[in-house]
Amino acid sequence: MSARGGFAAAALGAVCALVGCNGAATDPQQLPPRSPASDRAEHTEAARRPSADRGAPATATTTTTHSAAVLVALEAATQARALPSRASFASRRVSRAEMERVVREQVERELPPEALAHEAAQQKLLSVVARGEDYRELVLGMIGAQVAGLYVPRDKALYVVDDGSANAGSTEERTVLVHEIVHAIQDEHFDLGARVRWREGASDETAAIHALGEGDATLAMLLETSRGEAIPKSFVDGFTSLMRESNRRMVGDRVPQALADALVDPYVEGMRFVWSLYARGGWDAVNAAWRAPPETTEQLLHLAKYDRREPPLPLPKASAPPAGFTVLTQGPVGELDLRDWLGAFLPFDEASAVASGWGNGRVELFGRGAERALRVHVRWDDDAPGNSARAARGLAGALAERYRTAKKKLGAFTCLERADMGPIAFGAGSRDLVVLAGPATLEGPASPSATCASLAAWAARSKVRP
């Protein structure tokens, strides 16, 4: 399940607000070739311009003096994106350690203190993340290690990692700078910072807009690298597939695939969405999308649904929590959330196929003292028959194998008992999937006292439409 701000609530959602450039998106091996002669000419011209000292404070003013490399990238970004810029942002090269510090500071600044704890509970109750994992360090470490560049809308400042090698002034650094400067241009023209700021209950919409921003910046970056030559769909498909696989290799086994995919989703799916708009109407079509952005990640993933502004289906009123529990938080489950969650247990192509036809979704987290419980409800469109049952079978089968436990019938639900995280039950109707997880304690010794039998009363109240 992705960490965007509702289903899995906050951390990546907050970093989305920072609009970082993932290192997997700027691998020179994946980019169109540049012209060495034009590179030399531009760097010669830039050398005549004023240069800022490396490591200068990142204070944003309209009179900020930029380095020669930033001025070259600024000119390239404005030409590639076909929008002017006042260059009213600060720019700074930082070490990897400094970048990690900036990421952590911004997450703390952008998020309410309980949001990350709620996210961790959701991920653990669904067995996406191990119970004993330090979720905060897992997520922030993954982001800090991956981000090659960062634009912070609130501060009007961009950062690029200087690892101390020959990276400074390289094609790779230029590519990162172009990407981040395009984010500054988006902020200037379309108020990017306000649009992607974390808002409780708006995670799916925010994720869609964030992907629009990353896709816009990635396409501009590629067009600049290719010198404006047309980028065919075959290249987009190959580039985005390589980006996803490269990201998975970078994080390795230390990060669950669902979280790794959530980090790269905005670049991959945003690029596909923006390229489709650009292919039929150039930058005018992309600018129009900023004026009327996708409202859900379903619209982001399916251009036809964006074109007709297909709204989410209605969901029934949220159910009562387990006896003695209160609601801690609730939020949407978007199609990207659903796909990444399923992708933690099913092959990626199968997860994508099952998530397709998403109609709406909601997650509710409940608490009673140190105990936590979770309810997820996803509804599919009429034209996606059987997807809810496929999801329930796939999830229950994968967890039964992982925990080496038998499935138990609990009315309309199939229930499994997990020694570390309590019971989890899956109920599927013709178009609906309801998942009940817990109760369980997330800190200290595991409390396996909750069983499928103790879940029975809650399951009986959680109706699944046949």
Question: What is the full DSSP assignment across 354-382?
Answer: HHTTEEEEEEEEEEETTEEEEEEEEEE-T
Where b means 16+ CB within 10 Å and e means fewer, 200-214 reads eebbbbbbbbbbbbb
| Mean of pLDDT over the chain | 83
Strands (E), 72-202: 90-94, 147-152, 157-161
Least confident segment among 304-313, 392-401, 404-413: 404-413
The pLDDT value recorded for residue 318 is 80
Compute and round to an integer the Cα radius of gyration of the chain.
23
pLDDT attached to residue 16: 41
Q: Tell me the mean pLDDT in the region 21-34.
A: 53
431 part of a folded domain = yes
Residue 303 lies inside a defined structural domain of this protein: yes
The domain tally of the chain equals 2
Q: Is residue 1 part of a domain?
A: no
The verdict on 288 and 370 lying in the same domain is no
Per-residue tokens: 129 = 């993340």
Query: Per-residue pLDDT averaged across 419-431, rounded?
Result: 91
pLDDT at 245: 85
Structure tokens, 59: 């204070």
- Average pLDDT, integer, range 377-388: 92
Q: Are residues 246 and 126 in the same domain?
A: yes
407 domain-assigned: yes
Same domain, 284 and 421: no
Residue 253: partners with Cβ closer than 8 Å, 6 or more residues away: none
Q: Are residues 158 and 289 in the same domain?
A: yes
340 lies in some domain: yes
Say if residue 217 is in the same domain as residue 292.
Answer: yes
Distance set, CA 230 to CA 32, 177, 181, 282 (Å): 11, 22, 22, 11
Say if residue 335 is in the same domain as residue 300. no
Give the pLDDT confidence score for residue 308 in this predicted structure: 97
Point out the domain boundary residue: 252, 272, 307.
307
Q: Which domain holds residue 27?
A: 11-307
Q: Which carries the bigger pLDDT value, residue 322 or residue 461?
A: 322
Residue 310 has pLDDT above 50, yes or no: yes
Per-residue pLDDT, 271: 95
pLDDT at 106: 86
Does 249 share its domain with 353?
Answer: no
Quick check: 27 pLDDT over 70? no
Say if residue 71 is in the same domain as residue 202: yes
Q: What is the pLDDT of residues 95-128, one digit of tens each?
A: 989 999 998 888 888 888 788 889 899 999 999 9
Pick the last residue of a domain from 256, 279, 307. 307
Same-domain pairing of 126 and 274: yes
Judge whether 135 lies within some domain: yes
Look at residue 43 and give its three-state secondary structure: helix
Q: Answer whether residue 291 shows pLDDT above 50.
A: yes
Confidence of residue 37 (pLDDT cuts 50, 70, 90): very low
pLDDT (0 to 100) of residue 205: 94
- Which tokens go with 400? 């039964």
Distance between CA atoms of 394 and 28, rounded to whole angstroms? Answer: 38
Peptide bond into 316 cis (omega under 30): no
- 399's tokens: 């967890």
Query: How far, CA to CA in Å, does 407 sit from each of 374, 387, 391, 418?
Result: 19, 20, 15, 11
Is residue 317 a part of any domain in this protein?
no
Indicate if 127 and 87 belong to the same structural domain: yes
Q: Do 241 and 389 fall into the same domain?
A: no
Residue 48, domain member (yes or no): yes
- From 307, 342, 357, give the residue that closes a domain: 307
Q: Give the count of beta carbons closer than 10 Å to the beta carbon of residue 147.
A: 24
User: Whole-model pTM?
Assistant: 0.87
Q: Are residues 344 and 247 in the same domain?
A: no
